[in-house]
Chain A
């Protein structure tokens, strides 16, 4: 049994992994809340709506000191809020608010509002923390309000009003972006919107004031349930009103595949398909996936696929396509291969690097290697070493110097890459991989390799 390292904050239970399955304990201190969650019908309703991850209760458990052991549906790939596109984060925020709205209807309330309680399954966000609900007590405020603002509202406002890349502040602020920081970055135009003015400016000011003053917590205050519902609906309205910062016309044709003619494109597709068939993977990661065009070759076969890309616009397009076509088995992840998501949080183990989250059966790197080797000066051998540790098999497209995409990269810099050619590539990769197959893409000088790690 391996206890999941991020599962230590909530005394209600903990998550552990055994035989590649995920389990969640329900401690005795949470018994009353858990029983109410089930008996009230809230759990069933949330699961029916696809808002809450479904679980089964283990009838027999080796743990005698816990009330129940749950076996929730396993999320294929755990992703973090700083790896989500704008719409992914927005949908996760709305899901959290809808869950809170329904919980209040059933006489319960969310005790937290962490963005890490949301994951993506079958292209949709789903709430994964079954123990986040507690019985509502008349007059109480929402303890997760501050957390919701820091985890969801702050990055969404910054992305919408300032810059898409500012969601990366979630990496350095594991419990969300502090509201005073948000207040100092957010443009003044945003603060003219009443709900933003209140939720950001007023709340940040009150937080500062309360830090300084010695507040008497014993004094009773009272918020009615109707008022909590009202706050929730206004938050939903605010989140719903936030728009992706680029207009459709500005990013609709953001990516065009002008480097391929139709024959080359079909050839590339067919080679990739044949390689995938050979490996027969259950899980696949595609690095530099762009808007997921080639990742879909795998996900459409029912292979659980993750489409990593550094570009927030590409990830946004990918996610919107998934939503529009109701696609499954595909998850876009915002990811910088030259500076991957690090191990962060307590003991550097709360949120971990991708290699500690899953070992995929196959990885792909299409039209990618020139970006790493030439734009970032990473030696080919070092690239091979990194990829070979991630998965046993890899489909890699070698893009030679004559290719117009590489020429573009070299146009503004000195060519200090004498070994960047097919022979040099094969030599460097041979230390970590055997070449299973190699095929040239027609009407192109590109080569597609199927590699197996040594």
Chain B
């Protein structure tokens, strides 16, 4: 979901990108070539998303104090 909050976090999260670019991937034990670039990308991207999620979770927790939300079915399943 692309909203104004996630865009804000997106720019903040560019900082760890530079740090993580130095990382390398683990050996590929696969019958298809996973591509070392894509492997490295997942490490960087997941790092950025984790930072975003950290802020989002805090935001949602604060929001949850004021607005009660129902437990919804997992839409990703």
Using CB atoms and an 8 Å cutoff, list the residues of chain A in contact with chain B.
9-12, 49, 97-98, 101-102, 111-112, 139-147, 149, 193-195, 198-199, 202-204, 206-211, 215-224, 227-228, 230-234, 236-237, 241
A220 to B49, CA, bound (A): 20
**CB distance A141 to B42 under 8 Å?**
yes
Asked if B23 CB lies within 8 Å of chain A CBs, one says yes
Asked if B27 CB lies within 8 Å of chain A CBs, one says yes
What DSSP secondary structure best describes chain B's contact surface? helix
Type the 1/0 row for B24-62, where 1 means its CB is closer than 8 Å to any CB of A: 111111111111111111111111111001000000000
Given known contacts A98-B77, A221-B25, A231-B45, A203 and B32 CB-to-CB distance under 8 angstroms: no
Asked if B63 CB lies within 8 Å of chain A CBs, one says no
Among A143, A195, A203, max chain B CB count under 10 A is at A143
Using CB atoms and an 8 Å cutoff, list the residues of chain B in contact with chain A.
1-2, 6-7, 10, 17, 23-50, 53, 76-77
Given known contacts A101-B76, A230-B46, A144 and B34 CB-to-CB distance under 8 angstroms: yes
A222 to B33, CA, bound (A): 19
**CB distance B27 to A207 under 8 Å?**
no
Given known contacts A11-B31, A198-B45, A210 and B26 CB-to-CB distance under 8 angstroms: no
A1 to B7, CA, bound (A): 56
Q: Which residue of A lies closest to B11 (CB)?
A: A194
A140 to B29, CA, bound (A): 10
Q: Which residues of B contact A101 (CB under 8 A)?
A: 76-77
Give the distance to chain A from B39, nearest Cβ to Cβ, in Å: 5
Given known contacts A98-B77, A102-B77, A207-B37, A221 and B23 CB-to-CB distance under 8 angstroms: yes
Q: Which residues of A contact B40 (CB under 8 A)?
A: 206, 210, 215
Q: Which residue of B lies closest to A194 (CB)?
A: B10
**CB distance A143 to B32 under 8 Å?**
yes
Q: Which residue of A lies closest to B38 (CB)?
A: A146
Q: Which residues of B contact A202 (CB under 8 A)?
A: 17, 41, 44-45
Q: Which of A97, A142, A219, A233 contacts B42 (CB 8 A)?
A: A142
**CB distance B76 to A98 under 8 Å?**
yes
Q: Which residues of B contact A11 (CB under 8 A)?
A: 31
A237 to B41, CA, bound (A): 18
**CB distance A194 to B6 under 8 Å?**
yes
Q: Which of A141, A193, A211 contacts B43 (CB 8 A)?
A: A141
Given known contacts A10-B31, A111-B32, A230 and B38 CB-to-CB distance under 8 angstroms: no
Q: How many A-B residue pairs have CB under 8 A?
A: 132
Instruction: With A195-B2, A207-B35 given, name 5 new contacts (CB 8 A).
Output: A210-B37, A218-B27, A223-B43, A227-B47, A241-B2
A149 to B31, CA, bound (A): 17
**CB distance A206 to B38 under 8 Å?**
yes
Q: Which residues of A contact B46 (CB under 8 A)?
A: 223-224, 227-228, 230-231
Among B29, B47, B77, max chain A CB count under 10 A is at B77
**CB distance B24 to A233 under 8 Å?**
no
**CB distance A227 to B27 under 8 Å?**
no
Give the distance to chain B from A287, nearest Cβ to Cβ, in Å: 35
Q: Which of B23, B26, B35 contacts A139 (CB 8 A)?
A: B26
Q: Which residues of A contact B47 (CB under 8 A)?
A: 227
Give the distance to chain A from B53, nearest Cβ to Cβ, in Å: 6
Given known contacts A193-B2, A231-B42, A241-B2, A216 and B34 CB-to-CB distance under 8 angstroms: no
**CB distance A230 to B32 under 8 Å?**
no
**CB distance B38 to A203 under 8 Å?**
yes
Give the distance to chain A from B3, nearest Cβ to Cβ, in Å: 11
**CB distance B35 to A146 under 8 Å?**
yes
Q: Which residue of B lies closest to A227 (CB)?
A: B46
> What are 11 pairs between A and B in contact, CB < 8 Å?
A112-B32, A143-B32, A146-B33, A194-B6, A207-B41, A216-B24, A219-B24, A221-B23, A221-B25, A224-B46, A230-B53
A234 to B6, CA, bound (A): 12
Q: Which residues of B contact A49 (CB under 8 A)?
A: 77
Q: Which residue of A lies closest to B20 (CB)?
A: A221
A446 to B48, CA, bound (A): 63
A206 to B25, CA, bound (A): 12
A230 to B43, CA, bound (A): 12
A451 to B64, CA, bound (A): 69
Give the distance to chain B from A110, nearest Cβ to Cβ, in Å: 11
Give the distance to chain A from B60, nearest Cβ to Cβ, in Å: 14
Among A10, A217, A222, A236, max chain B CB count under 10 A is at A217
A268 to B67, CA, bound (A): 60
Q: Which of A102, A142, A219, A232 contacts B26 (CB 8 A)?
A: A219
Q: Which of B17, B27, B76 contacts A233 (CB 8 A)?
A: B76
**CB distance A143 to B41 under 8 Å?**
no
